[in-house]
Structure 1
């Protein structure tokens, strides 16, 4: 089954917070890629695109790979420019809550919900793993009563920091606008938001990434290490930015094998 045979599931059927219209780009949604096996975990996939678009090759192909190793997947259509912070973060948090709320009905383990993302989607993934809440037990909407803390995060060649010299200026501009408040830049520098409660993390990057410096992954890994958060870090010697599954590069394509083994270790 391909995306053309699937339907988007709106995360807020009555309209998302801060929505500026009711078109597709105003409507955060997930597309489900379930597996025919109950009791398995789920991964929410956040394609990259500099917070200005969402790259197709970092969406459905990733979901189908996850299906091939027995894991449920949900591709997230999160809001991008002209939408700015906090919209995308709100969207991924809602996606985690939404899947967790429906876990029993969907045959998914509610205690094994991860977020995986690429580039700017990797920043969104790291943000989901560092900026979360445990839900509002008094909320009228039962979905908002759920925790939005992922049980694992998987940032792939991620944008991590908002701080020069390693920040990705285009992503930060789309996310925060021109001349953002320094406090907001600090908040969106994921390496500065890691705590001992940050979820277990799988990271990969290429050492010669010319668009998003590998220091982004290294900064995040260093923060995880300092906080004694379990993590895997894989840095490949060569590879352009935006490889996705990296099928054209047998060396980098190995990331899916080691990632699958890591997810198995996390009992997904």
Structure 2
């Protein structure tokens, strides 16, 4: 692998073992050691003083390893390699309302489930717009585009098929994923190296209870303010609402949402689904009666929505993405 910025099995100050309670730390699986920094130098639009990156484990209140990252200064991907890879890859983008990145619940736990199906997973730790990046709205999209390009550029070394690279985003991470899908051709940053000649378009998308609409009444207030500021203009809201930018080149998409989600209304997924149908983009949606918000895999066990990983993998297999 010769692309600038790629360093295999470097920890890069990951800091993902700090602050766990002894009981949780004792049963939590070890983190992978394979880390891919996204940028060979400072990320685009860096402020004069970089944000201070912090990792905090919410295990004391969650009852399980539940790490979050704030102040992301050096965005990266953590690579999860399956024991029996089938060539498919997924860029996993956790949520966190654009003020944190939820590493375990929506990132690492999801990656391990994908590994069990033979899928190589890349968990993205992306920059947050409130940390003075310029322009503030560009940083998450820049990181997502760069991540997709690095996966494809180094596909042979990762053991993946560059024509089978999907994206999966949760909550605000779903907004990053949907923005990547609808603005994949946008030159979000100046090209740096050969990797930036790769296509950033995902081959498939899975959007989990995604933030989509940035206009009231359906906008998630916290994500909207973190991304756009406290009083965004209507044209800024429209520009940042992915359902307004769906077209025939938007990737086939799988949507999951709980009807009782009181944080990100189900209307967000419905708006994106309607736009996909209008553009004749293949789509499948599963709307569950219960589940609330942010359930990932762990918090939905024992309820019907727990089936979502199997439903996604079955749909992906029908699309020729997951192969035995």
Answer yes or no: same fold by TM over 0.5. yes
Other-structure match for 1:48:
95
Any idea what SS the aligned residue of 1:105 has?
A: helix
Other-structure match for 1:255:
308
Other-structure match for 2:159:
107
Other-structure match for 1:64:
112
User: Could you list the runs of 5+ residues in structure 2 that have no partner in the other structure?
Assistant: 1-27, 54-71
- Residue 18 of structure 1: how far off its partner (Å): 1.5
- Residue 7 of structure 1: how far off its partner (Å): 4.0
Other-structure match for 1:82:
130
C-alpha separation in 2, matches of 1:3 and 1:133: 37
Larger Rg: 2
C-alpha separation in 2, matches of 1:218 and 1:106: 35
C-alpha separation in 2, matches of 1:227 and 1:189: 16
C-alpha separation in 1, matches of 2:176 and 2:29: 25
- Residue 39 of structure 1: how far off its partner (Å): 5.2
Q: Hey, which bits of structure 1, 4+ residues long, moved more than 6 A?
A: none
- Residue 117 of structure 1: how far off its partner (Å): 0.9
Any idea what SS the aligned residue of 1:202 has?
A: strand
C-alpha separation in 2, matches of 1:50 and 1:3: 26
- Relative to structure 1, is the Cα distance of residues 250 and 177 closer, same or farther in structure 2, using a 3 angstrom cutoff? same
- Relative to structure 1, is the Cα distance of residues 135 and 266 closer, same or farther in structure 2, using a 3 angstrom cutoff? farther
Q: How does 1:35-184 map to 2 (within 5 A)?
A: 35-37=82-84, 40-55=87-102, 56-83=104-131, 84-133=136-185, 139=191, 141-184=193-236
Kindly indicate whether the alpha-carbon contact (under 8 Å) linking 1:28 and 1:78 is maintained by their aligned counterparts in 2. Answer: yes
Kindly indicate whether the alpha-carbon contact (under 8 Å) linking 1:160 and 1:191 is maintained by their aligned counterparts in 2. Answer: yes
Other-structure match for 2:41:
14
My pick for the range that moved more, 176-185 or 75-84, is: 176-185
C-alpha separation in 2, matches of 1:23 and 1:66: 31
When the two structures are aligned, how many residues end up with a matched partner? 267
Aligned equivalent of 2:262, options 205, 210, 216 = 210
C-alpha separation in 2, matches of 1:244 and 1:12: 28
Kindly indicate whether the alpha-carbon contact (under 8 Å) linking 2:145 and 2:180 is maintained by their aligned counterparts in 1. Answer: yes
- TM-score normalised over the length of structure 1: 0.93
1:148-189 Cα distance to aligned partner (Å, 9 max, x none): 111111110011111111010110111111222432211111
Any idea what SS the aligned residue of 2:88 has?
A: strand
Any idea what SS the aligned residue of 1:59 has?
A: helix
- Relative to structure 1, is the Cα distance of residues 6 and 153 closer, same or farther in structure 2, using a 3 angstrom cutoff? same
Kindly indicate whether the alpha-carbon contact (under 8 Å) linking 1:50 and 1:170 is maintained by their aligned counterparts in 2. Answer: yes
